[in-house]
């Protein structure tokens, strides 16, 4: 069956405007707390959803006319695109091909998908996975297919592999997660974060807020993953040391979370930053933001996501400290910040 991705005008604007069947899907951004890059080599990672950074996809299906082939258009809107911009990426084509294979859609697919994305792109916040996830759910809705969580993950992951090369699957899962996750080898479970007052003897639970800051500079997960792959190919000892240290830190941080040990958890973040900086994943700008967050009273700070630019994440103990960290980050040049409450402050989300 032929596939046409060239007509961006689509049925929403054409003769069938307003008559097509509609479907919708959603997803959101993510921020990795510990373990990025090492997770590609099978170690665990901790990740939080960033619910303020939403992606909504709306699919409109219309009658296929003419030759009888597929006619699918993707377009994006959002803060980074002044208007509706056609999206012609290989990853979306791949996603549609996989969607057809796994859902047994036999009829021609004529559909417009409009993706409204509030996640800044190329910042390590999961924009590509979130767009793919929202698009998959919108396609499933408009073609009346029920997809289980595993199939949605596999479809998003198929698209991510095109975008990032070697992808662990953490973005594909975290962009649909409703709670912080412990991720390892393609599977995830909710992080056991002790809340204030949980259990006898609990000293107060985990009451942190994460501050995510955008350095304003594009990063590239694909380049960063490739950089490490080449480095580690030349130096197997460096690879073993990096993977072992990050893995140890991630497990130690997991226990800190369970026990509500905020400042120990923060120290692990900063230590993980040092390891990522030492293998060349950070930038001067991100290092300066990490320093600024620590100077403003943050318990810890590190680069987050693919790196070579993009975002960093810091841990604050309470709302007042989070505000101080935000001020410090803005003074040091952060172009945008988001506060993500976890544990006791989760009810204070925007
Ligand atoms: C990207 O958000 C995280 C990386 O570890 C790549 C991956 O896990 O797919 C850099």
pLDDT digits (tens, 9 = 90+) for 281-329: 999 999 999 999 999 999 999 999 999 999 999 999 999 999 999 999 9
CA–centroid distance, residue 291 to ligand 1 (Å): 23
Q: What is the pLDDT of residues 265-278, one digit of tens each?
A: 999 999 999 999 99
Residue 68 has pLDDT above 80, yes or no: no
Separation of CA 238 from chain center: 27
The ligand 1 atom nearest the CA atom of 40 = 8
pLDDT at 60 over 90: yes
* 35 CA: nearest ligand 1 atom: 5
* 202 CA → ligand 1 middle, Å: 34
Q: Residue 69 pLDDT > 90, yes or no?
A: no
6 pLDDT more than 50: no
Taking residues 239-259, report their average pLDDT.
Answer: 96
pLDDT at residue 199, as a whole number: 44
What is the rounded average pLDDT of the residues 175-198? 83
Q: Which of 125, 168, 246, 313 to mutate to test the pocket of ligand 1 (most atoms within 8 A of CB)?
A: 168
Query: For the chain, first and last CA: distance in Å?
Result: 46
Parallel/antiparallel/unpaired status of strands 3-4 and 45-61? unpaired
**Pocket mutation for ligand 1, best pick of 123, 167, 226, 309 (most atoms within 8 Å of C-beta):** 167
Quote the pTM value: 0.91
Atom of ligand 1 nearest to the CA of 166: 9
Mutate to test the pocket of ligand 1, among 280, 306, 311 (most ligand atoms within 8 A of CB): 306
Averaged pLDDT for residues 238-262: 95
**pLDDT at 62 (0 to 100):** 84
Q: What angle do CA 57, 62, 64 make, to 5 degrees?
A: 130
Find out whether 167 and 161 touch, Cβ atoms under 8 Å.
yes
Query: Mean pLDDT across the stretch 61-74?
Result: 82
Instruction: Check: CB of residue 186 under 8 Å from CB of residue 175.
Output: no
Residue 24 has a pLDDT of 97
Asked whether residue 13 carries a pLDDT value surpassing 90, the answer given is no
pLDDT at 65: 76
Contact 343, 206 (CB under 8 A): yes
Q: For residue 47, what pLDDT band results from cuts at 50, 70 and 90? A: very high
Average pLDDT estimate for 89-112:
89
> What percent of the chain has a predicted confidence (pLDDT) above 90?
71
DSSP 136-180: HHHHHHHTT----HHHHHHHHHHHHHHHHSS--SHHHHHTT-SS-
Q: In which band, very low, low, confident or very high, does the pLDDT at 344 lie, cut at 50, 70 and 90?
A: low
Q: Among 218, 222, 169, 210, which residue's Cα sits nearest to residue 35?
A: 169
Distance, CA 305 to ligand 1 centroid (Å)?
6
Does 108 have pLDDT greater than 50? Answer: yes
Report whether pLDDT(195) > 80. no
In ligand 1, which atom is closest to the CA atom of 171?
2
pLDDT above 50: residue 201: no
Q: What is the pLDDT of residue 200?
A: 42
Q: Who contacts 242 (Cβ-Cβ below 8 Å, separation ≥6)?
A: 37, 38, 232, 275, 279
């Amino acid at each position: 069956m032929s596939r046409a991705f060239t007509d961006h005008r689509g049925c929403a604007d054409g003769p069938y405007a307003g008559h097509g069947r509609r479907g919708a899907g959603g997803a959101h951004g993510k921020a990795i707390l510990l373990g990025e890059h090492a997770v590609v080599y099978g170690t665990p990672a901790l990740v939080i959803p960033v619910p303020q950074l939403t992606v909504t996809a709306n699919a409109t299906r219309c009658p296929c006319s003419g030759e009888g082939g597929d006619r699918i258009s993707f377009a994006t809107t959002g803060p980074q695109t002044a208007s509706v911009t056609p999206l012609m990426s290989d990853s979306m084509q791949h996603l549609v091909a996989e969607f057809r294979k796994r859902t047994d859609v036999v009829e021609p697919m004529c559909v417009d998908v409009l993706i409204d994305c509030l996640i800044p792109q190329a910042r390590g916040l999961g924009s590509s996975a979130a767009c793919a996830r929202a698009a998959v759910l919108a396609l499933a809705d408009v073609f009346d297919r029920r997809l289980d969580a595993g199939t949605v993950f596999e479809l998003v992951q198929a698209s991510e592999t095109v975008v990032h090369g070697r992808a662990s699957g953490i973005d594909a899962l975290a962009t649909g997660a409703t709670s912080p996750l412990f991720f390892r080898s393609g599977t995830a479970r909710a992080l056991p974060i002790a809340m204030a007052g949980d259990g006898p003897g609990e000293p107060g639970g985990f009451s942190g807020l994460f501050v995510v800051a955008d350095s304003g500079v594009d990063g590239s997960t694909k380049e960063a993953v490739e950089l490490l792959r080449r480095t580690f190919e030349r130096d197997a000892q460096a690879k073993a040391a990096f993977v072992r240290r990050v893995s140890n830190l991630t497990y130690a941080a997991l226990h800190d979370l369970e026990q509500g040990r905020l400042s120990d958890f923060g120290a692990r973040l900063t230590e993980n930053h040092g390891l990522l900086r030492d293998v060349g994943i950070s930038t001067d700008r991100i290092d300066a933001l990490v320093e600024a967050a620590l100077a403003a009273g943050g318990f810890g700070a590190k680069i987050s996501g693919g790196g070579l630019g993009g975002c960093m994440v810091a841990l604050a103990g309470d709302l007042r400290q989070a505000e101080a960290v935000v001020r410090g980050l803005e003074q040091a040049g952060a172009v945008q910040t988001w506060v993500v409450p976890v544990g006791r402050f989760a009810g204070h989300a925007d």
